[in-house]
Structure 1
Amino acid sequence: MSIPLGYLIGLAILAFPVLRLPRVPMPLGTSVFLITMSINELPVLAALAFGASTALALAEGDLASPVALGAAIVAAACLGLQIWRGATTPSVLRRAMGPIAVSGRVPLWRVLGFPFAVRPRSVERFADLSYGPASRRNRMDLYRRRGTVAGAPVLIHFHGGYYTTGHKSSQSLPMLHRLAERGWICISANYRLRPAAGFEDHVVDAKRLVAWVREHAAEWGADPERIVLSGSSAGAHMSAMAAFTHGDPAYQPGFEEADTSVSAVVSLGGYLGRYFDDRPETSPTESVRPDSPPVMVVHGTHDSLVPVADARRFAERLRADSRNLVVHAELPGAHHGFDLYWSPRFAAVVNAVEAFTAEAFARQRVR
């Protein structure tokens, strides 16, 4: 009796994301991240792939092998566990938010039928707007609801990519599209990358974009007093550092007088330690200050690129040193890059981001 190696390899790939792996160095970590993220965040498609491959194996008599049958049972259990972990995300987020109410609404047709980040017709995009002197990298895409927009809150998102790669049209697009549908102005921005740029350049780019929003708010219908910085991985590091250095002229060359304070920060799978040169002042965790804005930290428990313990330390430091709102949620079974698709998990995260920012704006009004 032959053992269907191809089928077994496929099962192993489908079951692999259920594991909590140790931190994996680059570039192997990128490969692990891509495999685990896609399967973990697309549970319906993963289940369909499992069903199709198992039906084919059954038709060809491969399941007569005890090894194949046992592997199929284990893989089915792993997929079931992955789906269950994703389904627990709303309750995890509700506990993290405490008394702040979070919507349970989920766009089921997107999550189940087409989970990819396709811009809805109700949202228009203005691509490749310039916000700084770097002609290629100081570019952004602006999303807003079609029609007249006035007094809209603004969310600025910075992509991840180890500060060496990445693009504005790649990450957290479901969140940008959803918030734009609901009346926000959302910006996804490129920024200068290593090795041509360093830590100070990244922070300057982030603050330059905040200054751009304040300067051009009226022409886009934005509220210049309600700006939220968000980011994925390295983008979260950049957002936090920009927020924690507001008013520091060293990071505002040529626009020293601009107001670069923000209403809140949202970290999605963020890297929150020291930059490559290992200076303590380049770490968000070591740069928390009493007047740091409200911060929401969302991280996957199974992240093999940025350990969840790092996010936990950051949240603990915020709670100890900042006088503003802190929300910290650890998503069961989530890996790096959970913000790429309209998965059940990220749909719940977007609901929580809406609730968190509404609370942050409300507290800002009464200060």
Structure 2
Amino acid sequence: MPFTQVISSSGMVTLMTLLALRPPRPRRTTPFTLSFFLTFLINEQPFLALYLLAAGVIPPLSAGETGRLSWWLGAGVAAGTAVGLLALAVRTRTARPRLTTALRQALGPAAVTRRRRRGLWPTVRLLVLPLISYRFDVRRVANLRYGEAGRGHLLDVYVPRAGTANAPVLVYLHGGGFRMGSKMIGARPLLYRLAGQGWVCVSANYRLSGRLRYADRLADTRQVIRWVHDNGPAYGADLSAVFVAGGSAGAHLAATAALTASAVPRPPDSREAGLPVAGAIGFYGYYGQADAGADSTPLAHLHADAPPFLVVHGTLDTLVLVEDARHFASELGQVSAQPVVYAELPGTQHNFDFFPSLRFNAVIEAVEDFAAWVRTTGAVPPSHRNAAPSQREIDPGTCP
């Protein structure tokens, strides 16, 4: 029967589509949910799921006798799933206006640049090569050592093959709940895109053993930044424009490293403070306590001299609740003299930076705009100067 065959071949895609459209939210931030595992890929790559759906349902429907009830039921399930996948694709387009609004509210109307039209190629590439981030004009210098802890102290550098000079630097730290993950996972579309635009990008491992304290991983993060200051000029880096970024647990480390940085160089083994960074960027970040230490959260290190922050989170994140990220951005915005750009992306799950997508393309453009503002302005916008903390809070209008 076509209906039974359609369900057996496409039932998982149908279930994943339904969950992606409206996943059940946990009561609190948690390291794992089944709905996240089933939906984070399909939420960013609905076209890939559409291909799988077509491959599973076209053969039984083509072989079945049209007009029979079972055929119509199978066709209905397939059509409904396809409509759901197209709805996911349309939903990704809501990211750009949210990011534009957040940037303009925090940095001023001129913060969002007008870009040249890229034509149809970005969309065609997503349709034809949905999981590929690689670019021929970017060179990855792999497995450079920044410490003595084996694989835990390796990093990769992404640079333009043609070379670069006076280039901004992005240091990216992967997620994984401080227990898993790798420099090869997370933000690869961002790393390749920025390197293709002339940036120097660094993606680093850090130690993951459960026996370590948060302070050890934070020390690794500072050591990566120190490596960039020591070695970045050889790749064309501008050391006055080092941005630290991360996803999930990596956003936690990036935020704490940025908040505890010092303008005064410290010895390489110092855990008191790190070298300064120009700005911090957090994707789907966890900002709570990492271990029993009271200072193992970025919230314990908020101060007026914090660098500018860009915080991006999904409204449907089923691992780190959006309320937690909103709280961090609000608390930081009330204290910091520098702007805090905070954007909530509708219909967005955890790990949204893993693969190329229409949504993440908009996030990458927001990173470029944020970094350009920091490099050209480097100061609090006039509307923020001498403002009371409440005037710098996140505009609730940007939240869903």
C-alpha distance in 2 between matches for 1:271 and 1:343: 22
Q: Secondary structure at the match of 1:136?
A: helix
Q: Is the 8 A contact 2:259 2:301 kept in 1?
A: yes
2:239 alignment partner in structure 1: 224
Q: Deviations over 1:247-282 (max 9, x none)?
A: 399x966257986110011101111111132x4421
Match 1:64 to one of 59, 64, 69? 69
The RMSD of aligned alpha carbons is 2.6
Q: Secondary structure at the match of 1:127?
A: strand
Q: Which amino acid aligns with 2:52?
A: A
Match 1:101 to one of 103, 112, 131? 112
Question: Which has the higher mean CA deviation after the structures are superposed, 50-59 or 34-43?
Answer: 50-59
1:344 alignment partner in structure 2: 358
TM-score (norm 1): 0.90
Match 2:344 to one of 330, 339, 342? 330
2:372 alignment partner in structure 1: 358
Q: Is the 8 A contact 2:133 2:355 kept in 1?
A: no
1:2 shift after superposition? 8.2
1:295 shift after superposition? 0.6
1:41 has 2:37 as partner: no
1:76 has 2:82 as partner: yes
TM-score (norm 2): 0.83
C-alpha distance in 1 between matches for 2:277 and 2:154: 20
1:193 shift after superposition? 0.9
C-alpha distance in 2 between matches for 1:182 and 1:42: 24
Residue identity over aligned pairs, in percent, reads 35
Q: Deviations over 1:100-154 (max 9, x none)?
A: 1145656233322212244211111111111123232111000100133221111
1:181 has 2:196 as partner: yes
Structure 1 pair 82/301, CA: closer, same or farther in 2 (3 Å)? same
C-alpha distance in 1 between matches for 2:45 and 2:54: 14
Structure 2 unaligned blocks of 5 or more: 382-400
Q: Is the 8 A contact 2:305 2:337 kept in 1?
A: yes
Q: Is the 8 A contact 1:285 1:313 kept in 2?
A: no
1:49 shift after superposition? 2.4
Structure 1 pair 145/11, CA: closer, same or farther in 2 (3 Å)? same
1:20 has 2:23 as partner: yes
Q: Is the 8 A contact 1:88 1:332 kept in 2?
A: yes
C-alpha distance in 2 between matches for 1:193 and 1:329: 29
C-alpha distance in 2 between matches for 1:92 and 1:354: 15
1:295 has 2:309 as partner: yes
Structure 1 unaligned blocks of 5 or more: none
Structure 1 pair 112/103, CA: closer, same or farther in 2 (3 Å)? farther
Q: Which amino acid aligns with 2:248?
A: S
Aligned residues: 364
C-alpha distance in 1 between matches for 2:234 and 2:12: 55
Q: Secondary structure at the match of 2:344?
A: strand
C-alpha distance in 2 between matches for 1:122 and 1:248: 35
Structure 1 pair 258/283, CA: closer, same or farther in 2 (3 Å)? closer
Structure 1 pair 219/253, CA: closer, same or farther in 2 (3 Å)? closer
Structure 2 counterparts to residues 180-259 of structure 1, below 5 A: 180-247=195-262, 254-255=269-270
Structure 2 counterparts to residues 30-179 of structure 1, below 5 A: 31-61=34-64, 64-65=69-70, 68-98=74-104, 99=109, 100-102=111-113, 107-179=122-194
